[in-house]
Amino acid sequence: MFMRGKCIGCGCCTSRCNADALLYTGEEMDADKVLDEVFKDILFYRKTGGMTLSGGEPLMQYDFSLKLLKGAKEKGVHTAIETSGYYPGKLYEIAKYTDLWLYDVKIFDESEHIKYTGVSNKLIMENLKYLNATGSEIILRCPIIPGINLTDEHFEKIAELSASVSSVKKVQFMPYHPLGTEKMKSLGREQKYENCEFLSRDAILPYLEKIKDKTDKILEIM
Ligand code: SF4
């Protein structure tokens, strides 16, 4: 029996598995090595592309992320960070080298936010205000999950927020799909959205229709 709680992720068992039933993916790299990889495609980044730090949460590795962003900006590469916004430190330095923030907005009610994500949303909203003042562009990324935030009230609040934060250029709505459920099960993780069903783009359209005149920002369904 595999006791996941005792696994420290050392990867030793993968090298002994002749059937390749267990694979260790990913590679440990320092920032310079990552940048070498990034710069291999630099010709493609000049006009519309760039480097996006994603995760997990890139801000959890603040110094590493900062080094990558600085290095990319030195070569004129457009930079973006995909983040939950939950970062307790100062974003001043990293914001200097970030052209675009892809910023999650999940739930407005604080207790509901704690219930579903495990943390308060106060810091997330404070950081959003701070980033607005830095002048970097922001795209709000809004996962929409039936039974949790597929409500008129939630969409109204997104419209209100996007209209009030001048650096927000766009709002992207991401309808829930349960693709990650099986992976979560296989990793032995808690299933918070097990009973949620796939949400189509069409199901979101009526909500967008109701808010489209309440914000001047572009609204997209991903
Ligand atoms: S990765 Fe494999 S060898 Fe390493 S602790 Fe986990 S189960 Fe054991």
For the segment 99-146, what is each residue's pLDDT rounded down to a tens digit? Answer: 999 999 999 999 999 999 999 999 999 999 999 999 889 999 999 999
Q: Binning pLDDT at 50, 70 and 90, where does residue 91 land?
A: very high
d(CA 181, CA 186): 9
CA-closest candidate to residue 56, choices 31, 74, 83: 83
Distance 14 CA to ligand 1 centre (A): 8
Amino acid identity, position 203: A
**Is residue 133 lining ligand 1, measured as CB closer than 6 Å?**
no
The reported pLDDT for the residue numbered 24 is: 77
Biggest CA pair distance of the chain: 60
Cis peptide preceding 56, ω within 30 of 0: yes
d(CA 158, CA 210): 12
The mean pLDDT of 33-46, rounded to a whole number, is 89
d(CA 178, CA 181): 5
Q: Binning pLDDT at 50, 70 and 90, where does residue 4 land?
A: confident
Window from 18-22, 49-53, 105-109 with minimum mean pLDDT: 18-22
Domain boundaries, the chain: 29-221
55 CB neighbour count, 10 Å cutoff: 13
17 CB neighbour count, 10 Å cutoff: 11
Residue found by looking up tokens 């994603």 in the block: 54
Residue 1 to residues 11, 16, 99, 103, 188: CA-CA distances in angstroms?
Answer: 17, 17, 48, 40, 13
Contact 169, 218 (CB under 8 A): yes
Q: Binning pLDDT at 50, 70 and 90, where does residue 17 land?
A: confident
What's the mean per-residue pLDDT of the chain? 90
- pLDDT above 80: residue 43: yes
Pocket residue to mutate for ligand 1, from 3, 10, 186, most atoms within 8 A of Cβ: 10
The reported pLDDT for the residue numbered 49 is: 87
- pLDDT above 80: residue 75: yes
CA-closest candidate to residue 174, choices 73, 81, 104: 104
Window from 7-21, 29-43, 61-75, 134-148 with minimum mean pLDDT: 7-21
Q: Is the dihedral of CA 34, 40, 43, 44 positive or negative?
A: negative
Distance 18 CA to ligand 1 centre (A): 15
Pocket residue to mutate for ligand 1, from 4, 6, 12, most atoms within 8 A of Cβ: 12
The reported pLDDT for the residue numbered 93 is: 94
Residue found by looking up tokens 């829930």 in the block: 176
- pLDDT above 90: residue 186: no
Amino acid identity, position 82: E
The reported pLDDT for the residue numbered 3 is: 77
d(CA 167, CA 140): 10
Window from 13-27, 65-79, 83-97, 123-137 with minimum mean pLDDT: 13-27
The mean pLDDT of 178-189, rounded to a whole number, is 71
Q: Which CATH architecture best describes the domain 29-221?
A: Alpha-Beta Barrel (3.20)
